[in-house]
A and B are shown apart, each in its own frame.
Chain A
Protein backbone atom coordinates (compact mmCIF):
# COMPACT_ATOMS: atom_id res chain seq x y z
CA UNK A 1 0.00 0.00 0.00
CA UNK A 2 2.83 2.54 0.33
CA UNK A 3 2.97 2.89 -3.42
CA UNK A 4 -0.52 2.79 -4.86
CA UNK A 5 -2.51 4.14 -7.75
CA UNK A 6 -3.57 7.13 -5.67
CA UNK A 7 -0.04 8.44 -5.23
CA UNK A 8 1.25 7.55 -8.66
CA UNK A 9 2.88 4.34 -7.38
CA UNK A 10 5.56 6.33 -5.56
CA UNK A 11 7.24 5.70 -2.23
CA UNK A 12 8.13 9.15 -0.96
CA UNK A 13 9.04 8.82 2.73
CA UNK A 14 8.92 11.83 5.08
CA UNK A 15 8.55 15.38 3.83
CA UNK A 16 7.83 18.83 5.16
CA UNK A 17 5.87 21.79 3.88
CA UNK A 18 7.93 24.23 1.78
CA UNK A 19 7.67 27.61 3.52
CA UNK A 20 9.22 30.96 2.54
CA UNK A 21 11.06 31.33 5.86
CA UNK A 22 13.13 28.26 4.98
CA UNK A 23 13.96 29.14 1.36
CA UNK A 24 17.44 30.48 2.12
CA UNK A 25 18.36 27.52 4.29
CA UNK A 26 17.18 25.00 1.71
CA UNK A 27 18.83 26.66 -1.26
CA UNK A 28 22.15 27.36 0.43
CA UNK A 29 22.54 24.32 2.70
CA UNK A 30 20.73 21.82 0.48
CA UNK A 31 19.56 19.62 3.38
CA UNK A 32 18.60 16.03 2.70
CA UNK A 33 14.81 15.89 2.68
CA UNK A 34 12.72 13.15 1.08
CA UNK A 35 10.24 15.61 -0.44
CA UNK A 36 8.49 18.94 -0.06
CA UNK A 37 4.82 19.70 -0.16
CA UNK A 38 3.90 23.04 -1.72
CA UNK A 39 0.68 24.99 -1.36
CA UNK A 40 -0.43 25.03 -4.99
CA UNK A 41 -2.14 28.43 -4.82
CA UNK A 42 1.12 30.14 -3.80
CA UNK A 43 2.62 29.17 -7.15
CA UNK A 44 -0.39 29.51 -9.46
CA UNK A 45 0.95 32.83 -10.69
CA UNK A 46 2.45 34.18 -13.90
CA UNK A 47 6.07 34.69 -12.85
CA UNK A 48 8.45 36.24 -10.36
CA UNK A 49 10.36 35.01 -7.37
CA UNK A 50 7.99 32.26 -6.15
CA UNK A 51 8.29 30.39 -9.44
CA UNK A 52 12.03 31.00 -9.61
CA UNK A 53 12.44 29.49 -6.13
CA UNK A 54 10.16 26.61 -7.04
CA UNK A 55 12.22 25.84 -10.13
CA UNK A 56 15.38 25.73 -8.03
CA UNK A 57 13.70 23.42 -5.53
CA UNK A 58 12.46 21.19 -8.35
CA UNK A 59 16.01 20.76 -9.61
CA UNK A 60 16.97 19.04 -6.37
CA UNK A 61 13.89 17.78 -4.59
CA UNK A 62 10.68 15.90 -5.15
CA UNK A 63 7.59 18.08 -4.77
CA UNK A 64 3.93 17.25 -4.21
CA UNK A 65 1.14 19.77 -4.67
CA UNK A 66 -1.38 20.44 -1.92
CA UNK A 67 -4.26 22.82 -2.59
CA UNK A 68 -6.39 24.85 -0.22
CA UNK A 69 -9.15 26.27 -2.39
CA UNK A 70 -10.49 23.72 -4.85
CA UNK A 71 -13.44 23.26 -2.50
CA UNK A 72 -14.60 19.90 -3.80
CA UNK A 73 -17.64 20.19 -1.53
CA UNK A 74 -18.86 23.60 -2.72
CA UNK A 75 -22.17 23.35 -4.53
CA UNK A 76 -20.87 25.16 -7.58
CA UNK A 77 -18.82 24.21 -10.60
CA UNK A 78 -15.02 24.28 -10.33
CA UNK A 79 -13.52 27.66 -11.21
CA UNK A 80 -12.09 27.30 -14.76
CA UNK A 81 -9.30 29.80 -14.18
CA UNK A 82 -8.30 27.91 -11.04
CA UNK A 83 -8.21 24.64 -12.94
CA UNK A 84 -6.21 26.12 -15.81
CA UNK A 85 -3.57 27.53 -13.51
CA UNK A 86 -3.47 24.36 -11.43
CA UNK A 87 -2.85 22.25 -14.51
CA UNK A 88 -0.05 24.56 -15.61
CA UNK A 89 1.57 24.06 -12.23
CA UNK A 90 1.09 20.29 -12.37
CA UNK A 91 3.01 20.28 -15.64
CA UNK A 92 5.77 22.32 -14.05
CA UNK A 93 6.18 20.29 -10.87
CA UNK A 94 5.34 16.87 -12.33
CA UNK A 95 3.68 16.11 -9.02
CA UNK A 96 2.75 12.41 -8.93
CA UNK A 97 -0.52 13.21 -7.16
CA UNK A 98 -2.51 16.28 -6.14
CA UNK A 99 -4.29 16.80 -2.85
CA UNK A 100 -6.95 19.19 -1.60
CA UNK A 101 -9.54 19.20 1.15
CA UNK A 102 -12.84 17.47 1.61
CA UNK A 103 -14.63 20.69 2.44
CA UNK A 104 -16.36 23.69 0.96
CA UNK A 105 -15.37 27.34 1.08
CA UNK A 106 -17.03 29.26 -1.74
CA UNK A 107 -20.61 29.88 -2.74
CA UNK A 108 -22.04 31.95 -5.60
CA UNK A 109 -18.47 32.79 -6.62
CA UNK A 110 -17.60 34.30 -3.24
CA UNK A 111 -14.61 32.82 -1.43
CA UNK A 112 -14.28 32.52 2.33
CA UNK A 113 -10.66 31.26 2.15
CA UNK A 114 -11.53 28.80 4.89
CA UNK A 115 -11.89 25.03 4.97
CA UNK A 116 -15.54 24.74 5.96
CA UNK A 117 -17.05 21.46 7.12
CA UNK A 118 -19.45 19.45 4.99
CA UNK A 119 -22.89 18.28 6.00
CA UNK A 120 -22.46 14.51 5.88
CA UNK A 121 -25.33 13.80 3.51
CA UNK A 122 -25.66 11.52 0.51
CA UNK A 123 -26.47 14.53 -1.68
CA UNK A 124 -23.20 16.22 -0.65
CA UNK A 125 -21.19 13.00 -1.10
CA UNK A 126 -22.55 12.52 -4.61
CA UNK A 127 -21.86 16.10 -5.66
CA UNK A 128 -18.41 16.14 -4.10
CA UNK A 129 -17.39 12.87 -5.73
CA UNK A 130 -18.58 14.15 -9.11
CA UNK A 131 -16.42 17.23 -8.70
CA UNK A 132 -13.36 15.20 -7.69
CA UNK A 133 -13.81 13.13 -10.85
CA UNK A 134 -14.12 16.24 -13.02
CA UNK A 135 -10.99 17.79 -11.57
CA UNK A 136 -9.00 14.56 -11.86
CA UNK A 137 -10.06 14.09 -15.49
CA UNK A 138 -8.98 17.64 -16.28
CA UNK A 139 -5.66 17.50 -14.42
CA UNK A 140 -4.83 13.94 -15.48
CA UNK A 141 -3.16 13.11 -12.17
CA UNK A 142 -4.43 11.06 -9.22
CA UNK A 143 -6.25 13.05 -6.54
CA UNK A 144 -6.37 12.44 -2.81
CA UNK A 145 -8.84 14.28 -0.58
CA UNK A 146 -7.93 15.39 2.92
CA UNK A 147 -10.21 15.23 5.94
CA UNK A 148 -10.38 18.65 7.63
CA UNK A 149 -10.52 19.80 11.24
CA UNK A 150 -13.94 21.09 12.13
CA UNK A 151 -15.62 23.10 14.85
CA UNK A 152 -19.25 22.64 13.84
CA UNK A 153 -21.60 19.82 12.90
CA UNK A 154 -24.84 20.06 10.97
CA UNK A 155 -28.34 18.86 11.83
CA UNK A 156 -28.60 17.63 8.25
CA UNK A 157 -25.83 15.04 8.56
CA UNK A 158 -26.94 11.50 7.78
CA UNK A 159 -23.71 9.69 8.66
CA UNK A 160 -20.43 10.05 10.55
CA UNK A 161 -17.50 11.96 9.10
CA UNK A 162 -15.56 8.81 8.29
CA UNK A 163 -18.59 7.24 6.63
CA UNK A 164 -18.89 10.39 4.54
CA UNK A 165 -15.20 10.26 3.62
CA UNK A 166 -15.59 6.63 2.57
CA UNK A 167 -18.73 7.41 0.59
CA UNK A 168 -16.95 10.19 -1.33
CA UNK A 169 -13.74 8.32 -2.09
CA UNK A 170 -15.59 5.19 -3.20
CA UNK A 171 -17.89 7.18 -5.48
CA UNK A 172 -14.99 9.24 -6.87
CA UNK A 173 -12.56 6.34 -6.87
CA UNK A 174 -9.91 8.68 -5.46
CA UNK A 175 -7.25 8.56 -2.78
CA UNK A 176 -7.18 9.84 0.79
CA UNK A 177 -4.77 12.27 2.36
CA UNK A 178 -5.32 11.15 5.91
CA UNK A 179 -4.64 13.98 8.36
CA UNK A 180 -4.36 12.32 11.75
CA UNK A 181 -4.06 15.66 13.53
CA UNK A 182 -7.34 16.78 11.97
CA UNK A 183 -8.95 13.54 13.11
CA UNK A 184 -7.72 14.20 16.63
CA UNK A 185 -8.87 17.85 16.62
CA UNK A 186 -12.33 16.95 15.32
CA UNK A 187 -12.65 14.04 17.73
CA UNK A 188 -12.09 16.40 20.66
CA UNK A 189 -14.49 18.99 19.25
CA UNK A 190 -17.22 16.49 18.46
CA UNK A 191 -16.73 13.79 21.08
CA UNK A 192 -15.92 10.75 18.98
CA UNK A 193 -13.20 8.11 19.25
CA UNK A 194 -10.41 9.04 16.83
CA UNK A 195 -9.20 5.43 16.66
CA UNK A 196 -12.58 4.39 15.27
CA UNK A 197 -12.08 6.93 12.49
CA UNK A 198 -8.57 5.69 11.64
CA UNK A 199 -9.74 2.08 11.74
CA UNK A 200 -12.66 2.82 9.41
CA UNK A 201 -10.74 4.40 6.59
CA UNK A 202 -10.12 2.18 3.52
CA UNK A 203 -6.36 1.73 4.02
CA UNK A 204 -5.76 0.81 0.40
CA UNK A 205 -6.81 4.32 -0.64
CA UNK A 206 -4.44 6.22 1.66
CA UNK A 207 -2.04 8.08 -0.63
CA UNK A 208 -0.44 10.29 2.00
CA UNK A 209 -0.61 11.17 5.69
CA UNK A 210 -0.44 14.58 7.35
CA UNK A 211 0.79 15.19 10.86
CA UNK A 212 0.73 18.56 12.65
CA UNK A 213 0.32 20.38 15.94
CA UNK A 214 -2.68 22.35 17.17
CA UNK A 215 -3.79 24.79 19.88
CA UNK A 216 -6.02 23.88 22.78
CA UNK A 217 -8.60 26.36 24.05
CA UNK A 218 -10.95 26.01 26.99
CA UNK A 219 -13.89 24.64 25.03
CA UNK A 220 -12.41 23.51 21.76
CA UNK A 221 -9.21 22.78 19.82
CA UNK A 222 -8.06 24.80 16.83
CA UNK A 223 -6.00 23.34 14.01
CA UNK A 224 -3.25 25.98 14.02
CA UNK A 225 -0.19 24.07 12.75
CA UNK A 226 2.02 26.03 15.14
CA UNK A 227 3.17 23.39 17.62
CA UNK A 228 4.96 20.05 17.64
CA UNK A 229 2.87 16.92 17.18
CA UNK A 230 1.40 15.68 20.47
CA UNK A 231 1.56 12.07 21.65
CA UNK A 232 -2.09 11.15 21.03
CA UNK A 233 -1.64 12.24 17.41
CA UNK A 234 1.52 10.14 17.10
CA UNK A 235 -0.51 7.19 18.39
CA UNK A 236 -3.08 7.76 15.66
CA UNK A 237 -0.27 8.03 13.15
CA UNK A 238 1.18 4.74 14.38
CA UNK A 239 -2.17 3.06 13.90
CA UNK A 240 -2.62 4.64 10.47
CA UNK A 241 0.71 3.34 9.17
CA UNK A 242 0.05 -0.07 10.74
CA UNK A 243 -2.99 -0.22 8.51
CA UNK A 244 -1.81 1.64 5.41
CA UNK A 245 1.86 0.68 5.44
CA UNK A 246 4.93 2.80 4.74
CA UNK A 247 3.00 5.84 3.47
CA UNK A 248 4.28 9.24 2.30
CA UNK A 249 4.13 11.43 5.40
CA UNK A 250 4.18 15.19 5.70
CA UNK A 251 4.56 17.47 8.71
CA UNK A 252 2.64 20.76 8.42
CA UNK A 253 3.98 23.76 10.34
CA UNK A 254 2.47 27.02 9.11
CA UNK A 255 2.57 29.52 11.94
CA UNK A 256 5.27 30.53 14.43
CA UNK A 257 7.54 28.48 12.18
CA UNK A 258 10.79 27.48 13.91
CA UNK A 259 14.11 26.75 12.23
CA UNK A 260 14.27 24.34 9.33
CA UNK A 261 16.12 21.85 11.51
CA UNK A 262 13.48 21.91 14.21
CA UNK A 263 10.68 21.35 11.72
CA UNK A 264 12.56 18.60 9.92
CA UNK A 265 13.56 16.87 13.18
CA UNK A 266 9.92 16.88 14.24
CA UNK A 267 8.90 15.31 10.94
CA UNK A 268 11.60 12.67 11.20
CA UNK A 269 10.06 11.38 14.43
CA UNK A 270 7.67 9.63 12.06
CA UNK A 271 10.51 7.41 10.85
CA UNK A 272 10.39 5.08 13.85
CA UNK A 273 6.74 4.32 13.14
CA UNK A 274 7.41 3.86 9.44
CA UNK A 275 10.35 1.59 10.24
CA UNK A 276 8.09 -0.67 12.24
CA UNK A 277 5.86 -1.12 9.20
CA UNK A 278 8.88 -2.24 7.19
CA UNK A 279 9.76 -4.76 9.92
CA UNK A 280 6.18 -5.97 10.08
CA UNK A 281 6.22 -6.54 6.33
CA UNK A 282 9.52 -8.36 6.56
CA UNK A 283 8.40 -10.87 9.18
Chain B
Protein backbone atom coordinates (compact mmCIF):
# COMPACT_ATOMS: atom_id res chain seq x y z
CA UNK B 1 0.00 0.00 0.00
CA UNK B 2 1.36 3.44 -0.89
CA UNK B 3 2.17 5.69 2.06
CA UNK B 4 -0.60 8.20 1.37
CA UNK B 5 -3.20 5.47 0.98
CA UNK B 6 -2.10 3.78 4.19
CA UNK B 7 -2.25 7.05 6.10
CA UNK B 8 -5.72 7.84 4.75
CA UNK B 9 -6.91 4.33 5.62
CA UNK B 10 -5.62 4.54 9.19
CA UNK B 11 -6.76 8.14 9.76
CA UNK B 12 -10.30 7.34 8.61
CA UNK B 13 -10.50 4.52 11.13
CA UNK B 14 -9.07 6.33 14.09
CA UNK B 15 -11.17 9.45 13.53
CA UNK B 16 -14.33 7.36 13.57
CA UNK B 17 -16.22 7.91 16.86
CA UNK B 18 -16.04 5.32 19.62
CA UNK B 19 -19.03 3.28 20.75
CA UNK B 20 -20.95 4.39 23.87
CA UNK B 21 -18.72 2.03 25.88
CA UNK B 22 -15.65 3.80 24.44
CA UNK B 23 -14.53 0.94 22.21
CA UNK B 24 -13.77 0.94 18.49
CA UNK B 25 -16.78 0.45 16.27
CA UNK B 26 -17.38 -2.97 14.67
CA UNK B 27 -17.93 -1.36 11.29
CA UNK B 28 -15.24 0.50 9.35
CA UNK B 29 -15.92 3.83 7.63
CA UNK B 30 -16.57 1.94 4.38
CA UNK B 31 -19.19 -0.28 6.04
CA UNK B 32 -17.05 -3.40 6.11
CA UNK B 33 -16.27 -5.24 9.35
CA UNK B 34 -13.58 -3.27 11.18
CA UNK B 35 -11.67 -6.47 11.98
CA UNK B 36 -11.09 -7.11 8.28
CA UNK B 37 -10.37 -3.41 7.67
CA UNK B 38 -7.67 -3.32 10.38
CA UNK B 39 -6.18 -6.66 9.33
CA UNK B 40 -5.55 -5.29 5.83
CA UNK B 41 -2.76 -3.02 7.03
CA UNK B 42 -1.94 -3.74 10.69
CA UNK B 43 -0.10 -6.83 11.86
CA UNK B 44 -1.43 -8.68 14.90
CA UNK B 45 0.99 -9.89 17.58
CA UNK B 46 0.85 -12.67 20.16
CA UNK B 47 -1.27 -10.53 22.53
CA UNK B 48 -3.28 -8.15 20.38
CA UNK B 49 -5.27 -8.52 17.17
CA UNK B 50 -4.99 -5.95 14.38
CA UNK B 51 -8.34 -4.58 15.56
CA UNK B 52 -7.10 -4.17 19.13
CA UNK B 53 -3.91 -2.44 18.04
CA UNK B 54 -5.82 0.03 15.89
CA UNK B 55 -8.29 0.54 18.72
CA UNK B 56 -5.51 1.90 20.97
CA UNK B 57 -5.01 4.76 18.52
CA UNK B 58 -8.74 5.23 17.96
CA UNK B 59 -9.33 5.63 21.68
CA UNK B 60 -6.32 7.90 22.19
CA UNK B 61 -7.53 10.18 19.40
CA UNK B 62 -10.93 10.67 20.98
CA UNK B 63 -9.71 10.89 24.58
CA UNK B 64 -7.17 13.54 23.62
CA UNK B 65 -9.55 15.69 21.58
CA UNK B 66 -12.43 15.44 24.03
CA UNK B 67 -10.11 16.42 26.91
CA UNK B 68 -9.07 19.45 24.95
CA UNK B 69 -12.69 20.45 24.29
CA UNK B 70 -13.60 19.96 27.96
CA UNK B 71 -10.67 22.15 28.97
CA UNK B 72 -11.54 24.90 26.49
CA UNK B 73 -15.34 24.99 26.90
CA UNK B 74 -16.30 24.38 30.54
CA UNK B 75 -19.06 26.97 30.22
CA UNK B 76 -20.75 25.28 27.29
CA UNK B 77 -20.40 22.00 29.13
CA UNK B 78 -22.29 23.44 32.08
CA UNK B 79 -25.02 24.77 29.79
CA UNK B 80 -25.51 21.51 27.91
CA UNK B 81 -24.64 19.05 30.66
CA UNK B 82 -21.67 16.67 30.44
CA UNK B 83 -23.28 13.91 28.39
CA UNK B 84 -24.85 16.15 25.81
CA UNK B 85 -21.66 18.21 25.61
CA UNK B 86 -19.55 15.13 24.85
CA UNK B 87 -22.03 13.88 22.27
CA UNK B 88 -22.03 17.32 20.66
CA UNK B 89 -18.21 17.43 20.64
CA UNK B 90 -18.09 14.07 18.85
CA UNK B 91 -20.50 15.32 16.19
CA UNK B 92 -18.56 18.57 15.85
CA UNK B 93 -15.20 16.83 15.52
CA UNK B 94 -16.57 14.45 12.90
CA UNK B 95 -17.79 17.42 10.85
CA UNK B 96 -14.86 19.70 11.67
CA UNK B 97 -11.73 17.64 12.30
CA UNK B 98 -8.68 19.62 13.36
CA UNK B 99 -7.02 21.47 10.50
CA UNK B 100 -4.39 23.11 12.64
CA UNK B 101 -1.03 21.92 13.97
CA UNK B 102 -2.13 23.02 17.42
CA UNK B 103 -5.01 21.86 19.63
CA UNK B 104 -5.42 25.48 20.63
CA UNK B 105 -7.51 25.97 17.47
CA UNK B 106 -9.70 22.90 17.92
CA UNK B 107 -12.78 24.93 18.86
CA UNK B 108 -12.31 27.68 16.28
CA UNK B 109 -15.28 26.55 14.19
CA UNK B 110 -17.55 25.54 17.06
CA UNK B 111 -19.73 28.67 17.07
CA UNK B 112 -20.52 28.53 13.36
CA UNK B 113 -21.06 24.78 13.54
CA UNK B 114 -23.38 25.06 16.53
CA UNK B 115 -25.35 27.76 14.74
CA UNK B 116 -25.99 25.31 11.90
CA UNK B 117 -26.84 22.46 14.29
CA UNK B 118 -29.32 23.91 16.80
CA UNK B 119 -30.55 20.50 17.91
CA UNK B 120 -27.64 20.16 20.34
CA UNK B 121 -28.63 23.13 22.46
CA UNK B 122 -32.37 23.06 21.78
CA UNK B 123 -34.14 25.77 23.77
CA UNK B 124 -30.78 26.94 25.12
CA UNK B 125 -29.39 27.74 21.68
CA UNK B 126 -28.97 31.49 22.27
CA UNK B 127 -27.28 30.90 25.61
CA UNK B 128 -25.05 28.17 24.15
CA UNK B 129 -23.95 30.41 21.29
CA UNK B 130 -23.24 33.25 23.70
CA UNK B 131 -21.05 31.14 25.96
CA UNK B 132 -19.16 29.54 23.06
CA UNK B 133 -18.36 32.99 21.71
CA UNK B 134 -17.14 34.12 25.11
CA UNK B 135 -14.97 31.02 25.61
CA UNK B 136 -13.43 31.38 22.18
CA UNK B 137 -12.81 35.11 22.77
CA UNK B 138 -11.09 34.15 26.01
CA UNK B 139 -8.69 31.89 24.09
CA UNK B 140 -8.02 34.60 21.51
CA UNK B 141 -7.43 37.25 24.17
CA UNK B 142 -5.10 35.00 26.15
CA UNK B 143 -2.43 34.66 23.48
CA UNK B 144 -3.37 37.37 20.99
CA UNK B 145 -0.80 39.81 19.73
CA UNK B 146 0.01 42.94 21.77
CA UNK B 147 1.50 45.92 19.99
CA UNK B 148 3.31 48.82 21.67
CA UNK B 149 0.69 50.79 23.57
CA UNK B 150 -0.24 54.33 22.69
CA UNK B 151 1.43 56.97 24.86
CA UNK B 152 0.13 60.54 25.26
CA UNK B 153 3.20 61.92 23.47
CA UNK B 154 2.39 59.76 20.42
CA UNK B 155 -0.68 61.91 19.89
CA UNK B 156 1.18 65.21 19.77
CA UNK B 157 -0.34 67.19 16.94
CA UNK B 158 -2.48 64.27 15.83
CA UNK B 159 -5.51 64.52 18.12
CA UNK B 160 -8.79 65.58 16.52
CA UNK B 161 -11.87 64.13 14.85
CA UNK B 162 -9.86 62.71 11.95
CA UNK B 163 -7.62 60.64 14.19
CA UNK B 164 -7.73 56.90 13.58
CA UNK B 165 -6.92 54.86 16.66
CA UNK B 166 -6.08 51.19 16.47
CA UNK B 167 -7.19 48.71 19.09
CA UNK B 168 -4.83 46.10 20.49
CA UNK B 169 -5.35 42.88 18.51
CA UNK B 170 -5.92 40.89 21.71
CA UNK B 171 -8.92 42.99 22.80
CA UNK B 172 -12.14 41.17 21.89
CA UNK B 173 -15.45 43.09 21.68
CA UNK B 174 -18.65 41.12 22.07
CA UNK B 175 -22.35 41.65 22.61
CA UNK B 176 -24.44 38.97 24.28
CA UNK B 177 -28.09 38.22 24.94
CA UNK B 178 -27.22 36.60 28.27
CA UNK B 179 -24.88 37.68 31.09
CA UNK B 180 -22.56 34.79 30.28
CA UNK B 181 -19.54 36.43 31.89
CA UNK B 182 -21.06 35.80 35.33
CA UNK B 183 -21.89 32.23 34.39
CA UNK B 184 -18.41 31.42 33.12
CA UNK B 185 -16.72 32.97 36.15
CA UNK B 186 -19.00 30.94 38.43
CA UNK B 187 -18.22 27.73 36.57
CA UNK B 188 -14.49 28.40 36.80
CA UNK B 189 -14.70 29.19 40.48
CA UNK B 190 -16.46 25.90 41.11
CA UNK B 191 -13.80 24.06 39.13
CA UNK B 192 -11.06 25.69 41.21
CA UNK B 193 -12.85 24.97 44.49
CA UNK B 194 -13.47 21.32 43.74
CA UNK B 195 -10.17 20.10 42.39
CA UNK B 196 -9.95 17.58 45.21
CA UNK B 197 -13.64 17.26 45.95
CA UNK B 198 -15.43 14.08 47.02
CA UNK B 199 -18.06 12.39 44.86
CA UNK B 200 -20.84 13.80 47.02
CA UNK B 201 -19.39 17.25 46.61
CA UNK B 202 -19.17 16.75 42.84
CA UNK B 203 -22.84 15.82 42.78
CA UNK B 204 -23.78 18.94 44.72
CA UNK B 205 -21.64 20.98 42.36
CA UNK B 206 -23.43 19.49 39.38
CA UNK B 207 -26.79 20.43 40.89
CA UNK B 208 -25.55 23.96 41.60
CA UNK B 209 -24.43 24.34 38.01
CA UNK B 210 -27.74 23.13 36.67
CA UNK B 211 -29.50 25.60 38.96
CA UNK B 212 -27.21 28.43 37.89
CA UNK B 213 -27.91 27.76 34.23
CA UNK B 214 -31.64 27.37 34.82
CA UNK B 215 -31.75 30.67 36.67
CA UNK B 216 -29.85 32.62 34.07
CA UNK B 217 -32.26 35.13 32.57
CA UNK B 218 -31.65 36.91 29.29
CA UNK B 219 -30.10 40.32 29.71
CA UNK B 220 -28.11 42.01 26.98
CA UNK B 221 -24.55 42.87 27.88
CA UNK B 222 -21.57 44.30 26.03
CA UNK B 223 -18.18 42.99 26.93
CA UNK B 224 -14.52 43.64 26.24
CA UNK B 225 -12.37 40.57 26.80
CA UNK B 226 -8.88 41.90 27.44
CA UNK B 227 -5.64 41.35 29.34
CA UNK B 228 -4.02 43.01 32.32
CA UNK B 229 -0.56 41.74 33.23
CA UNK B 230 -1.10 38.77 30.92
CA UNK B 231 -4.29 37.61 32.67
CA UNK B 232 -7.59 37.70 30.80
CA UNK B 233 -10.44 39.79 32.22
CA UNK B 234 -14.03 40.42 31.19
CA UNK B 235 -15.02 44.08 31.36
CA UNK B 236 -18.62 45.11 30.88
CA UNK B 237 -18.95 48.20 28.76
CA UNK B 238 -21.79 50.52 27.74
CA UNK B 239 -23.46 50.01 24.36
CA UNK B 240 -21.95 53.34 23.25
CA UNK B 241 -18.48 52.20 24.29
CA UNK B 242 -19.00 49.02 22.32
CA UNK B 243 -20.06 51.03 19.27
CA UNK B 244 -17.12 53.45 19.46
CA UNK B 245 -14.55 50.72 19.94
CA UNK B 246 -16.11 48.62 17.18
CA UNK B 247 -16.05 51.55 14.77
CA UNK B 248 -12.42 52.32 15.62
CA UNK B 249 -11.53 48.71 15.00
CA UNK B 250 -13.18 48.98 11.58
CA UNK B 251 -10.87 51.89 10.80
CA UNK B 252 -13.35 54.74 11.21
CA UNK B 253 -12.09 58.12 12.38
CA UNK B 254 -12.62 59.20 15.95
CA UNK B 255 -15.27 61.70 14.92
CA UNK B 256 -17.28 59.19 12.91
CA UNK B 257 -16.96 56.54 15.61
CA UNK B 258 -18.41 58.89 18.24
CA UNK B 259 -21.20 60.11 15.95
CA UNK B 260 -22.23 56.55 15.16
CA UNK B 261 -22.19 55.55 18.82
CA UNK B 262 -24.60 58.20 19.98
CA UNK B 263 -27.11 57.90 17.13
CA UNK B 264 -29.54 55.83 19.21
CA UNK B 265 -28.07 56.57 22.61
CA UNK B 266 -30.12 57.03 25.75
CA UNK B 267 -27.36 59.10 27.34
CA UNK B 268 -28.44 62.70 27.70
CA UNK B 269 -26.67 64.99 25.18
CA UNK B 270 -25.16 67.14 27.93
CA UNK B 271 -23.53 64.10 29.56
CA UNK B 272 -22.00 62.66 26.41
CA UNK B 273 -18.79 64.65 26.32
CA UNK B 274 -17.96 63.72 29.90
CA UNK B 275 -18.76 60.05 29.22
CA UNK B 276 -16.54 59.94 26.15
CA UNK B 277 -13.71 61.59 28.04
CA UNK B 278 -14.01 59.08 30.89
CA UNK B 279 -14.17 56.09 28.54
CA UNK B 280 -11.12 57.14 26.58
CA UNK B 281 -9.24 57.66 29.82
CA UNK B 282 -10.18 54.14 30.95
CA UNK B 283 -9.27 52.53 27.63
CA UNK B 284 -5.94 54.35 27.48
CA UNK B 285 -5.14 53.34 31.07
CA UNK B 286 -5.90 49.73 30.17
CA UNK B 287 -3.54 49.99 27.20
CA UNK B 288 -6.19 49.12 24.64
CA UNK B 289 -4.86 51.46 21.95
CA UNK B 290 -1.81 50.74 19.84
CA UNK B 291 0.74 53.33 18.91
CA UNK B 292 -0.68 55.57 16.17
CA UNK B 293 0.68 55.12 12.68
CA UNK B 294 2.08 58.49 11.59
CA UNK B 295 0.38 58.31 8.20
CA UNK B 296 -3.03 57.62 9.71
CA UNK B 297 -2.65 60.34 12.32
CA UNK B 298 -2.06 63.02 9.69
CA UNK B 299 -5.03 62.15 7.49
Contact = CB atoms under 8 A, between A and B. Distances in A.
Contact of A47 (B6, B100, B146): B146
Given A48-B170, A112-B11, A151 B57 contact: yes
Interface in A47-96: 47-52, 69-70, 74-76, 79, 81-82
B42 A104 contact: no
Interface string B36-65: 000011110111101011101100110011
B36 to A, nearest CB: 13
A150 B175 CA distance: 47
A74 B15 CA distance: 16
A104 to B, nearest CB: 6
Interface string A224-255: 00000000000000000000000000000000
B15 A155 contact: no
Interface stretch (B20-28, B113-121, B137-145, B212-220): B137-145
Residue of B3, B50, B56, B60 contacting most chain A CB atoms (<10 Å): B3
B123 interface: no
A270 interface: no
Interface string B189-219: 0000000000000000000000000000000
Contacts of A124: 3
Interface stretch (A115-123, A163-171, A258-266): A115-123
Given A47-B170, A75-B3, A155 B101 contact: no
A47 to B, nearest CB: 5
A82 B7 CA distance: 20
B126 to A, nearest CB: 30
A69 B100 CA distance: 9
A31 interface: no
Given A45-B104, A47-B143, A48-B227, A151 B56 contact: yes
A121 B41 CA distance: 13
A44 B6 CA distance: 30
B266 interface: no
A113 interface: yes
B57 to A, nearest CB: 6
Contact of B102 (A41, A107, A110, A219): A41
Given A48-B142, A48-B144, A155 B43 contact: yes
Contact of B3 (A123, A190, A222): A123
Contacts of A51: 143
B32 interface: no
Nearest to B47: A219
Interface in A158-190: 189-190
A281 interface: no
Contact of B48 (A50, A81, A220): A220
Interface string B4-25: 1011101100110000000000
User: Which bracket fits the contact residues of A?
Assistant: 35 or more
A151 B1 CA distance: 20
Contacts of A191: 45-46
Interface in B88-142: 97-104, 142
Contacts of B56: 151-152, 220, 222
Nearest to A44: B102
A213 B15 CA distance: 27
A33 interface: no
A75 B57 CA distance: 19
A111 B47 contact: no
B43 A154 contact: yes
Contact of B15 (A75, A110, A127, A222): A110
Contact of A112 (B45, B61, B145): B61
B146 A112 contact: no
B57 A121 contact: no
A156 B104 contact: no
B264 interface: no
Interface in A107-142: 107-114, 116, 119, 121, 123-124, 127
Nearest to A189: B45
A153 interface: yes
B231 interface: yes
B263 interface: no
Nearest to B5: A75
A46 B227 CA distance: 14
Given A151-B56, A152-B53, 8 more contacts: A41-B101, A48-B230, A107-B11, A110-B15, A110-B97, A110-B98, A191-B46, A219-B47
Interface of A: 41, 44-52, 69-70, 74-76, 79, 81-82, 104, 106-114, 116, 119, 121, 123-124, 127, 151-156, 189-191, 219-220, 222
3 interchain residue pairs of minimum CB distance = A46-B145, A49-B230, A48-B143
29 contacts: A46-B143, A47-B169, A48-B146, A48-B230, A52-B230, A74-B7, A75-B4, A76-B4, A81-B101, A107-B4, A107-B8, A110-B97, A112-B11, A112-B15, A112-B61, A112-B98, A113-B98, A116-B7, A121-B3, A123-B3, A151-B48, A151-B57, A152-B43, A155-B41, A155-B43, A156-B41, A191-B45, A219-B52, A222-B56
